[in-house]
């Protein structure tokens, strides 16, 4: 059985986004949105990017949403490997 301290550390680690909201409230007196979108900048193969963009346009797919899904899937794989 986990000690209270171990459980508290686990909860804090899993909820950093929520804690950031309360830190912002403490600092400014206002609640901040819990989830923000960020613009990212990274390099991709131009041909691959163009094919993906065209694929998304032809199929009515939101590119950002699809990338978020891919990232979540990848992180899920990493989490399962880490637990094994």
Q: pLDDT of 32-82, one tens digit each?
A: 666 677 889 999 999 999 999 999 999 999 999 999 999 999 999 877 676
The better pLDDT of the pair 32, 10 is held by 10
Residues 57 and 23 placed together within one structural domain of the fold: no
pTM: 0.53
**Distance between CA atoms of 50 and 46, rounded to whole angstroms?**
6
Residues 28 and 46 in one domain: no
70 and 46 housed in the same domain: yes
Inter-CA distances, 62 with 38, 51, 69, 72, Å:
16, 14, 11, 15
Same domain, 57 and 80: yes
The reply to whether 27 and 58 lie within a common domain is no
Domain that holds residue 28: 1-36
Q: Are residues 45 and 79 in the same domain?
A: yes
Check residue 71 and give its pLDDT: 93
Does 52 lie in the same domain as 75? yes
Radius of gyration of the chain, Cα coordinates, nearest whole angstrom:
19
User: Total domain count for the chain?
Assistant: 2
Domain check: are 54 and 83 in the same one?
yes
What is the predicted pLDDT for the residue at 79? 72
Residues 49, 80 share a domain: yes
pLDDT of residue 23: 83
> pLDDT class for 25, splitting at 50, 70, 90?
confident
Looking at residue 7, its pLDDT comes to: 86
> In 3-state terms, what secondary structure has residue 49?
helix
Nearest to 71 by CA among 34, 32, 40: 40
């Amino acid at each position: 059985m986990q000690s209270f301290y171990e459980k508290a550390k686990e909860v804090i680690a899993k909820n950093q986004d929520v804690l950031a909201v309360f830190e912002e409230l403490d600092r400014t007196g206002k609640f901040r949105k819990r989830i923000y979108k960020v613009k990212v900048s990274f390099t991709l193969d131009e041909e691959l990017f163009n094919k993906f963009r065209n694929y998304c346009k032809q199929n009515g797919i939101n590119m950002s949403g699809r990338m978020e899904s891919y990232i979540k899937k990848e992180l899920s794989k990493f989490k399962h490997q880490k637990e094994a």
